[in-house]
Structure 1
């Protein structure tokens, strides 16, 4: 039985044969041909319309997926909105060009690379305040790293001198006639203001040379003249350029990382032996490792605190995040396993076995030793400050920077990234995260969307967005508050970052 509205195919074929077999006039044949051609066109258009509709649906789905992916990418990688802010370091109209001076200041910089860098920037400003000619600083050769590098090995010495010639006269060494002259040897008081250094200028009545034994944190973070603050920025961000050898290799490493992936994260993973010993943090370590760190702390003379309760330190958020904790943190923020991660650090305590807690989640983890060739790094061997400079360059240029601990490098990189346009910098809330990690360990919380929501909400306002430099925590008074103010070099806003 045939359904209504449909003609069996065998019937249609039979009719056509009969019709053609008859002796038809040319007009009839032409009419039949036209009808058949029209039917064919109609069927073609009908199917084409269905195909176009399906294609449109597929195109819309792809577009929607692409839009969703772009939103995710923007959340993960885009810098915070800067509200028209830009760097501003030019002197004010009242600023006078340096005339030079017959009084000289020699400096012995102390600490690692970034402690020395910020200290030198401070001393440029101090020399300006005290109207002194600055002698190129001597770098620390007795710190933990025992780096024998000279100033010119790390920095572009000629650029440093020439770029600051309007601000401070700088010479490579003392004049011969003053090499054996008596010197006023001073330990300048930390976080001092203008009046302190103006009073110290009285020393020029008795001495022609002042020797400064330490350079770090010699200036207050706040309440200094605008021109002095801007001079600190010019010294750090413009004048203290790395040597051509370091700059060139640093740029090559950045280019190689970008060629490996569209974006990369630089993680300052301070899970190194000296940092763990200094902070007394032993969570997750074996008893033998904990004892090794305790002995190291006790045998380091300039570390004042010898006995530290590791649990108290960790619960207060005073410990560097472990490689495993960094992995959980990045995953909870939404970064996919394919993310390229550059580790800006020295040797990780516990080696590859400890690092596997991170690489098991993010396989694309690289170091400068894996991005650069052995031949390229040969010139930097046994010079920790020079290799740290490579990490600094790669970190400043990264798409996202995440420090596991707020040390000198973390603060310096964050400040530089703010200065360059508030590039994305995620500072982990370590104290808040410890509670989350402990719940995971006890089975009270599972990895997944719930953990991700908690971590994202916790760090919504910790991604490097513009804000003015913070003061000391509530309740701290006297000179102690100066120590706990946010570092000028961690956030040079508002003095060196302005609105249009």
Structure 2
């Protein structure tokens, strides 16, 4: 028998638990709430993941900086026992009394004149001539009125080279009015060229040389001639006593401030930027000013220059900001003491602050020396540059932002003195990295450091023989592509034999 009452009760009970039909408004509100909650959850987890990645990045960089040992940043490259050797060989012929004279007008800045004078010492020896103390360039960009004795120790120069050539302070009175053979010696010439020129002695007692820079070849010269060039540059051309004295004081003050320091040759100066046609990072007004200067400078052969192509090719000086990024990527901490070896930075403190934001411990001549000490060097760019030269040669690390005459001379001198650490930036490679930083493809940190350190592993002044000419270039043009003798005097003036030791 069917119990109808029981069936009715079950139906009524089940109905209480079935969902009621919802209104469209309730359904819409429910969907919106669910969507909002989903967005909140997504943002929460995304933010957490980003913060975690950022913390990992910072942690990675902290670990990297802690793992980067300090000593490799400062230690000089292994020199394999190499040392200076400039004494003449047994075949060397000493100076002979000569009634033929060479007068010289040196050209260029300090280091261009120094290497040029060293060349003239060797030329005078080859031509068996008496060298008259050279006249320094007073018509260059700096308009410096300094004489030879203002910049160099004249008596020391004469005395040191007395076994090589005779040197007089002035041309003898009886020869001041005689006709002179005025010559522009061919650049990068060998011994044969100058031996042929001795026929001039038949008609002239005096040869006047209008320019002194790059008058001798870098390679394929007799060993004794190469060593004579080194004796002249590294031993005879000592700076004048006032410059030497203040230079040593400034080095001592830097050592007192910090046990070690970097000498940074920051060639971000008006003349260099104008000469190279580099306007990256400059204002339109500054770019126009540099262009005008280039076009109105007579002896600058290239007038129209594509600034972008110059930078991509690595022919521009690094900017102060780029130098800061570069040094941090190498691993130098912000506390590093840096001496700026340079003239007035183009753009002044505004540009220098781009470096100081990363390395606040920056020192210049004007902050290291007193006004009274620098008073004697005011308006004498060559003498001020000599102070920079001394401080740069004695630094723990030398970093040039551009491969100009100063950079090459300092690097060569540091190689001669035992291959002191010199980090030469690969400007062409660095520009590619800097551009990636600007586009966001790369960020400062461990990744950039890896690339920069790898790029400069073999650019720290370690011993190597001087590079020859670039392949594929013929004729005399190839000589221009050779590495300068004064940039790397190895192997002629640097050797491992214990029998040849440095000149004292």
Q: TM-score range by the shorter chain?
A: 0.7 to 0.9
Paired residues of 2:399 and 2:423 also in contact (CA < 8 A)? yes
Paired residues of 2:83 and 2:496 also in contact (CA < 8 A)? yes
1:176 aligned to which of 167, 173, 187: 173
Partner-residue secondary structure (3-state), 2:70: helix
Whether 1:421 and 2:434 are equivalent positions in the alignment is no
Which runs of 4 or more aligned residues in structure 1 lie more than 2 Å from their structure 2 counterparts after TM superposition?
68-71
- Describe the shift of the 1:86–1:70 C-alpha distance in structure 2 as closer, same or farther (beyond 3 A): farther
The 1-side partners of 2:92 and 2:372 are apart by 47
Partner-residue secondary structure (3-state), 1:253: helix
Whether 1:207 and 2:195 are equivalent positions in the alignment is no
Whether 1:257 and 2:258 are equivalent positions in the alignment is no
TM-aligned CA deviation for residue 69 of structure 1: 7.5
1:481 alignment partner in structure 2: 478
Per-residue displacement from partner, 1:331-358 (whole Å, max 9, x unpaired)? Answer: 0000000000000000000000111110
Whether 1:371 and 2:364 are equivalent positions in the alignment is no
TM-aligned CA deviation for residue 390 of structure 1: 0.1
1:11 alignment partner in structure 2: none
Number of aligned positions between the proteins: 433
Per-residue displacement from partner, 1:373-413 (whole Å, max 9, x unpaired)? Answer: 00000011100000000000000000000000000000000
2:330 aligned to which of 326, 329, 333: 333
1:286 aligned to which of 283, 288, 291: 283
Whether 1:111 and 2:143 are equivalent positions in the alignment is no
Whether 1:343 and 2:322 are equivalent positions in the alignment is no
1:314 alignment partner in structure 2: 311
Partner-residue secondary structure (3-state), 1:237: helix
1:76 aligned to which of 69, 73, 76: 73
1:360 aligned to which of 353, 357, 360: 357
1:457 alignment partner in structure 2: 454
Paired residues of 2:68 and 2:331 also in contact (CA < 8 A)? no
TM-aligned CA deviation for residue 259 of structure 1: 0.3
The 2-side partners of 1:128 and 1:309 are apart by 44
Whether 1:122 and 2:119 are equivalent positions in the alignment is yes
2:86 alignment partner in structure 1: 89
2:495 aligned to which of 485, 495, 498: 498
Per-residue displacement from partner, 1:392-449 (whole Å, max 9, x unpaired)? Answer: 0000000000000000000000000000000000000000000000000000001101
The 2-side partners of 1:425 and 1:343 are apart by 15
Per-residue displacement from partner, 1:309-329 (whole Å, max 9, x unpaired)? Answer: 000000000000000000000
The 2-side partners of 1:321 and 1:75 are apart by 24
Counterparts of 1:4-19 in structure 2 under 5 Å? none
TM-aligned CA deviation for residue 73 of structure 1: 2.0
1:442 aligned to which of 432, 439, 444: 439
TM-aligned CA deviation for residue 70 of structure 1: 10
The 2-side partners of 1:204 and 1:483 are apart by 30
2:217 aligned to which of 209, 220, 236: 220
2:268 alignment partner in structure 1: 271
- Describe the shift of the 1:104–1:70 C-alpha distance in structure 2 as closer, same or farther (beyond 3 A): farther
TM-aligned CA deviation for residue 250 of structure 1: 0.2
TM-aligned CA deviation for residue 304 of structure 1: 0.8
The 2-side partners of 1:182 and 1:300 are apart by 32
The 2-side partners of 1:418 and 1:88 are apart by 12
Partner-residue secondary structure (3-state), 1:266: strand
Aligned-residue Cα RMSD (Å) equals: 1.0
- TM-score scaled by structure 2? 0.85
Structure 1 unaligned spans of 5+: 1-67
Whether 1:139 and 2:136 are equivalent positions in the alignment is yes
Partner-residue secondary structure (3-state), 2:208: strand
